[in-house]
Structure 1
Amino acid sequence: MDLAFFAAEWLGKPLWMWLAFVGIVIALLTFDLGVLHKENRPIEVRESLVLSALYIGLGLAFGGWVWWYLGPEPGMNYLTGFVVEKTLALDNVFVIALIFSFFAVPAQYQHRVLFWGILGVIVLRAIMIGLGATLVAQFGWVLYIFAAFLILTGIKMLVIGDKPPQIADNPLIGFLRRRFNVTEEHDGERFFVRRPSPETGKLTWFMTPLFMALILIEIADLIFAVDSVPAIFAITTDPFIVYTSNIFAILGLRALYFALAAVIERFRYLKPALAVVLIFIGSKIFVADLLGWEKFPPALSLGVTFAILAAGVIWSLVKTRAPASSALAGEGTDAR
């Protein structure tokens, strides 16, 4: 094959860069499902933390390569996008935990749902980012709509607070139960099973609660993508930076879920911090125009974003730690 084919530009970058990135993603997914989790078993917290560190390290290493090969500005934009998208992905963990709890998904089958959920996310984000890039390229004023939407979303998050979604009242669950055959119990790791129809007695296909959980997780990501896609386009309009930072942030979500689900209450102030970040990212487009800047400085954007999120994490850990008196009381009880 002619090497010129790989050097041809697609969405502003040589085709070989896109193919290399896709190859990395396929290799990671294959390694995750085919090597690490061939058997159905719960993922321990320690294993989850190790895998999460690996995925975060790979995402940062890719950002280092972007910085080295494309320059400091694309590198800082990638890192800012990666940090914001990773935090938005963490927020998604809260909803995933509620979905798994509602459908009583056994721990050993949760990783299967998350794997196929993330695979769907990769495709879904590619479509949404492609549409967003086309809109921004054709109509520059769309960025201002994205920015205003982010500001309103951040304000809404601050006002509503930590009100959890009501899974039981979700109309999609009622629709699926009315329109399709659904089993009341799980059948191992299967998404579909064949059972006698209640009406005819003939064997027919039923979807299991595991598949319903997968559908709700995909819908939840679609809702989260409405926030995350405008957020990354408010940072940079380069489709390569937008998509790669998005996907690297999402890839480690499956591993990170099992660690965060155990300590989810320790990060109760992360959501307000994320709301402030969304307001900041939306506002900086208007601030740059008011100050006559061509664009908001990427280094300043990265520094402010990281500082706000770090403050949210530290404040959460400080406010939710066990009081010293309680810890001492516990030690005394153990001693007796």
Structure 2
Amino acid sequence: MKTKKYLFNLIFWITLSILFNILIFYTRGENSAVEYFGGYIVEMSLSLDNIFLFLMIFSSFGIKEEYQERVLLYGVIGAMVLRLIFILLGVTIINKFHSVLSLFGIILLYSGMHMFSNKDQNVEFGNNFAIRILGKLIPISNVFDGHKFFIKRNKKIYATPLFAVLIIIECSDVLFAIDSIPAIFSITTDTFIVYTSNIFAILGLRSMYYILEKMNNMFRFMKYGVGCILLFTGAKLILLLWRIEISVTNSVLIIIMILLASILLSLIFTDNKRMRNKFPLQK
């Protein structure tokens, strides 16, 4: 039942985003509408990789599902604030030093190649740098206390492991923004378009997390799709050095094709694996 609820929530946010895109079309024109749609698709597709990281974090700390929702809620709020800061900073830098787009392109190329070379590993989040810093600022309890982020013991305030997870989530989003925001800059540097496309994608993040949590194994090729999108957007920014520009419309179409191809491959290979398990070959 919960999956159905989150599916409806996701549909709601996607529908709202489409309506907002229509509003942009009538108020700002076709080009802005295409830019918004492209930014939204990029952010949504790259968010998939971030969601799988969230799954690893929650699993590592043994966070129960009923507690995950609160962490994700505050995580989304924090992400909205952080994105605004990053986007304003990024646009300001680009306006002053347009060549910095090439640097963003190199970052995206590196991140894209990293997607293909980096094998799945069991990450020990307990030794996370952010947690070590947090531990120096405030003592961290080893015990959960419901939904609480802080508890008081012997007249001393402790952060709960739930708060520690929230800090890791926020820090991971900062790292994620280093990829996602430059990727959107490959489509547009309009502050309004970049931020609103980011926000609408983020608003559906919580619902998408719970859906993908149930379908984790069905998206085995999404990582490579995200890698291809990063490589494409990075190359697009670097090509600007030679004044070679790929139109926004073509960029959006290429990104959509990459995304659909990775989803299709994931579904095909998942179905084949299920069929083999259901009907093993007789020797």
User: In structure 2, what is the equivalent of residue 144 of structure 1?
Assistant: 102
User: Would you say 1:235 and 2:176 are equivalent positions?
Assistant: no
Aligned CA RMSD, in angstroms, stands at 1.8
Q: CA deviation at 1:323?
A: 3.1
Aligned match for 1:302, one of 252, 276, 279: 252
Residue 190 of structure 1 contacts residue 210 of structure 1 at CA under 8 Å; is this kept in 2?
A: yes
User: Would you say 1:323 and 2:274 are equivalent positions?
Assistant: yes
- Mark the structure with the bigger radius of gyration: 1
Aligned match for 2:169, one of 206, 217, 220: 217
Residue identity in the other structure for 1:170? N
Residue identity in the other structure for 1:66? I
Residue 136 of structure 1 contacts residue 142 of structure 1 at CA under 8 Å; is this kept in 2?
A: yes
Q: Could you tell me how far apart the structure 2 residues matched to 1:76 and 1:163 are?
A: 38
Q: Identify unmatched segments of 5+ residues in structure 1.
A: 1-42, 197-202, 330-336
Q: 1:210 to 1:238 in 2, by over 3 A?
A: same
Q: Could you tell me how far apart the structure 1 residues matched to 2:56 and 2:98 are?
A: 38
Secondary structure of 2:214's partner? Answer: coil
Q: Could you tell me how far apart the structure 1 residues matched to 2:168 and 2:238 are?
A: 36
Q: Could you tell me how far apart the structure 2 residues matched to 1:327 and 1:233 are?
A: 46
Identity across matched positions, percent: 36
User: Would you say 1:278 and 2:236 are equivalent positions?
Assistant: no
Q: After alignment, is 94-103 or 175-184 more displaced?
A: 175-184
Residue identity in the other structure for 1:297? S
Q: Identify unmatched segments of 5+ residues in structure 2.
A: none
Structure 2 counterparts to residues 28-39 of structure 1, below 5 A: none
Q: CA deviation at 1:161?
A: 4.2
Secondary structure of 2:141's partner? Answer: coil
Aligned match for 1:118, one of 53, 59, 76: 76
Secondary structure of 2:144's partner? Answer: coil
Q: CA deviation at 1:154?
A: 0.8
Q: Could you tell me how far apart the structure 2 residues matched to 1:289 and 1:142 are?
A: 10
Structure 2 counterparts to residues 85-234 of structure 1, below 5 A: 85-163=43-121, 165-177=123-135, 179-196=137-154, 203-234=155-186
Q: 1:77 to 1:162 in 2, by over 3 A?
A: farther
Q: Could you tell me how far apart the structure 2 residues matched to 1:273 and 1:179 are?
A: 39
> Structure 1-normalised TM-score?
0.78
CA offsets 1:19-69 (integer angstroms, 9 cap, x no match):
xxxxxxxxxxxxxxxxxxxxxxxx811111111111111112212221232
Q: CA deviation at 1:174?
A: 3.6
Q: Could you tell me how far apart the structure 2 residues matched to 1:116 and 1:131 are?
A: 23
Secondary structure of 1:79's partner? Answer: helix
Q: Could you tell me how far apart the structure 1 residues matched to 2:120 and 2:51 are?
A: 13
User: Would you say 1:246 and 2:194 are equivalent positions?
Assistant: no
**Number of residue pairs matched by the alignment:** 279
Q: CA deviation at 1:317?
A: 1.1
Residue 92 of structure 1 contacts residue 224 of structure 1 at CA under 8 Å; is this kept in 2?
A: yes
Residue identity in the other structure for 2:257? A
Residue 95 of structure 1 contacts residue 165 of structure 1 at CA under 8 Å; is this kept in 2?
A: no
Q: 1:283 to 1:141 in 2, by over 3 A?
A: same
CA offsets 1:160-183 (integer angstroms, 9 cap, x no match):
144454323323334434553222
Q: Could you tell me how far apart the structure 2 residues matched to 1:73 and 1:81 are?
A: 12
Residue 285 of structure 1 contacts residue 296 of structure 1 at CA under 8 Å; is this kept in 2?
A: no
Task: Name the structure, 1 or 2, with higher relative contact order (CA <8 Å, separation 6+).
Answer: 2
Q: Could you tell me how far apart the structure 1 residues matched to 2:189 and 2:205 are?
A: 24
User: In structure 2, what is the equivalent of residue 79 of structure 1?
Assistant: 37
Secondary structure of 2:153's partner? Answer: strand
Q: Could you tell me how far apart the structure 2 residues matched to 1:58 and 1:297 are?
A: 26
Deviation above 6 Å: which 4+ runs of structure 1?
Answer: none
